[in-house]
Homo-oligomer: A and B are copies of this chain.
Amino acid sequence: MNIKNPTGTVLYSIEQAIKEYRKVSQKNIDKIVKDITIDQCLVLIILNKDERISQNELANLIFKDNASITRMIELMVKKDYLNRTIHKEDRRKFNLEITEKGKKTIELINPIVQVNRETALYGLSQEEINLLDKTLNKIITNCKI
């Protein structure tokens, strides 16, 4: 176990890993796009795959509260990354549409995201990654019960 771990559990290492990853990722994004966070990037990337996704689903996908998503999207609309229009079939919902600026931004950040992931996982074998994922999912299941 790591010396610099004041709790002595691997759960601390999990937190540390994700924090370091987020830090380096944000730093690399900042070099290319000035006014976007990694979570906002993730929103763009997810919407780019399927624009019909609701704010609710989006919140679940990126582990955020509905309230947080509301405010994130507000900002992203203000910064012209997204358009928001009322959903015709279900008037409680909204359509989230990626703007031209949003699309260009996705093009810019896609390679960075790739590099970030490769950087973080450098030197890990596929087997090691699979095992990591498997163990983490055990923990996720344990915590959900």
Interface set of A (CB-CB < 8 Å, partner B): 1-2, 6-7, 9-11, 13-21, 23-24, 42, 45-46, 49, 61, 63, 117, 119-124, 128-133, 135-140, 142-144
Residue ID in chain B nearest A8 by CB atoms: B117
Quick check: A140 and B15 within 8 Å, CB to CB?
no
23 example contacts (A-B, Cβ-Cβ < 8 A) are as follows: A1-B130, A2-B133, A7-B42, A10-B129, A10-B132, A10-B136, A13-B133, A14-B17, A14-B136, A15-B63, A17-B136, A17-B137, A17-B143, A20-B143, A20-B144, A21-B139, A120-B142, A120-B143, A121-B139, A123-B138, A123-B142, A131-B135, A132-B135
